[in-house]
Chain A
């Protein structure tokens, strides 16, 4: 019950943040720049420009303009995406959203699957080579340019392997068109991997999985080291405590002590960091998706930059902000579910 009230209150607290976000995008697209530029070219007669200004309420005071802007946003009119043949921004988002979510989910799964065990091992084997290795990994995660890592990965795992006649990973795209042609996929949820699994379409599933490995790894790499380090330090803190010593003294096997006793109490900071590193995953999406030609929101946004398509970039910023804020909310709620000691709403 208390959890429900807490979630409700947090959702209410989101409203000012999201409104603030719309104020930023409004300022950027209507105040800093000339909002008519989407319709006006050099050859538009001044009379028509005036008509356009009137039709879109640009002749009104700023506050009124903001009202119309919000009104449009709520009614699903996020503008037209100039770089996608004037398709409405919201419809582009709907079309590209599943691919990005699929990629981000896989990246997060890789982070957890690699980062968590590595963090635990480097806490258990403190100051051993593997601990130094994980430190190096954290450092390089924070220092590697994502786009460069993506290109290098393509070079090594696609080009070099293929060149030497070894099995290789595909470098671009979400799924091979020929595989898709031979094994038509019935759309269920829009997520290719999930759909192919649900309809038991093994060739497509395998192909999509092979396609996602490289981009997901690159995308997850930035936050990987951080997750490892945080897991390590909170594990170290917990392992010093008396109840761990007691568990050992009782003669429990080390595996049980570490995974059942220590880990459960050390997991919370890791959850926070996983939530926070979702931000770096979202930010890395335009870079990674461009290099890997991944048909998601990031690639769309990156292309929008090149063609100076403001409505799309604002829409992308807005939707990213909403996702990020919601993910952080989920993480905070998870926190109290995993650890009952954390009383929410106090």
Chain B
């Protein structure tokens, strides 16, 4: 008799989750574009983190003898009008841009989740909060961020605040819808029947089940937030002229675009790669995690 059959273990509640996750990873790995996206994002993040070790020159270093040089082995992406090495500046620019855009997404997603779940759970708040999001969504977010940024002042922190203030309504709507659906499900009723209070039900049961779309949305959003951050800096928000920030670098190089195109070309290309990476990754995640789109 095969004794191995007795060597079973009671399936834990995580088993199905793990199987689900493995399947997701399998699907994800077999989507070429998603893999391309995650590798791009990983590259960009690595470059940003290890910028001080990779970059041959400092971000604010001026080599006045070498100004306006084309790409060469000494200066991979060439130099700008003040003799700054563009390759090094792009790496440090990634740093600043990624820090700013990920803080925007984190703040907006947190704020949106808190307010959205409050709206979904407390009926009296619902109407007010949704009308507020209506107002926020009635103006293109970049323009609203311009107004907020103009009122607050032109520092990097204020740029993050301005974008976060205009970005949270999307998350609030998403979470509210999700909470409204989850709230009616049987397991919530069971939790309530066994004596769980509102806070416990919200934090232990409803929120963990509503958080997936927020994560997917945050990844997809990161791409557009990177673009928005760079756009606002291009317009003059956030950082002072001359700082190694990708949008600012394009703005500073505008006067040289015809005779020294590399000054503008490389920082813009860097923004493009980062946002394409985020968008591909987000698309891939959505395809994999949204059960309606797979199988």
Contacts and interface: CB of A to CB of B under 8 A. Distances in A.
A8 interface: no
B69 interface: no
B225 interface: no
Given A143-B227, A279-B140, A287 B235 contact: yes
A159 B135 contact: no
A147 B231 contact: yes
Interface residues of B, number: 47
B276 A286 contact: no
Q: Which of A24, A140, A146 has the most CB of B within 10 A?
A: A24
Contact of B271 (A23, A148, A310, A316): A148
Contacts of A143: 223, 227, 272, 275-276, 279
Contacts of B258: 154-155, 159
Contacts of A324: 138-140
Interface string A1-44: 00000000000000011101101110011001100000000000
Interface string B254-295: 100110010011011001100110011001000000000000
Nearest to A27: B151
A302 interface: yes
Contacts of A313: 146-147, 150
Nearest to B162: A28
B260 to A, nearest CB: 11
B224 A146 contact: no
Nearest to A278: B140
A68 B204 CA distance: 48
B4 interface: no
Nearest to A30: B151
A317 B139 contact: yes
B249 to A, nearest CB: 10
B138 A151 contact: no
A314 interface: yes
B148 interface: yes
B143 interface: yes
Given A151-B254, A280-B140, A145 B227 contact: yes
Contact of A20 (B131, B254, B280): B131
Nearest to B237: A305
B140 A305 contact: no
Contacts of A146: 231
Contacts of B131: 16-17, 20
Interface in B130-169: 131-132, 134-136, 138-144, 146-152, 154
B93 interface: no
Interface size on A, as a range, is 35 or more
B178 to A, nearest CB: 22
Contacts of A148: 250, 264, 267-268, 271-272
Given A17-B134, A282-B143, A142 B279 contact: yes
A282 B140 contact: yes
Contact of B235 (A154, A305, A325): A305
A306 B236 contact: yes
Contacts of B148: 28
Where chain A touches its partner, the secondary structure class is helix
A151 B250 contact: yes
A321 B272 contact: no
B87 interface: no
A316 B247 CA distance: 22
A262 interface: no
B244 interface: no
Nearest to A280: B140
B234 interface: yes
A17 B135 contact: yes
Q: Which of B134, B147, B251, B275 has the most CB of A within 10 A?
A: B147
Contact of A155 (B227, B236, B261): B261
A65 interface: no
Interface string A205-231: 000000000000000000000000000
A147 B146 CA distance: 16
A123 interface: no
A32 B152 contact: yes
Contacts of B230: 145
Contact of A283 (B134, B142, B267): B142
B235 A317 contact: no
Interface string A122-164: 0000000000000000011011111110011011000100000
A179 B151 CA distance: 41
B238 to A, nearest CB: 11
Contacts of B247: 145, 147
A142 B271 CA distance: 12
B268 to A, nearest CB: 3
A317 B268 contact: no
A197 to B, nearest CB: 30
B254 to A, nearest CB: 7
A279 B144 CA distance: 12
Contact of A151 (B151, B264, B280, B283): B264
A237 B14 CA distance: 38
18 contacts: A23-B135, A24-B144, A25-B147, A145-B230, A147-B250, A148-B272, A155-B257, A155-B261, A287-B231, A301-B143, A301-B146, A304-B150, A305-B146, A305-B237, A308-B150, A313-B147, A316-B147, A321-B139
Interface of A: 16-18, 20-21, 23-25, 28-29, 32-33, 139-140, 142-148, 151-152, 154-155, 159, 279-280, 282-284, 286-287, 290-291, 301-302, 304-306, 308, 310, 313-314, 316-317, 320-321, 324-325
Given A142-B279, A148-B268, A287-B235, 19 more contacts: A21-B138, A23-B135, A24-B136, A32-B151, A142-B223, A143-B272, A143-B276, A145-B227, A148-B272, A151-B257, A280-B140, A283-B141, A287-B231, A287-B234, A301-B146, A302-B235, A316-B146, A324-B138, A324-B139
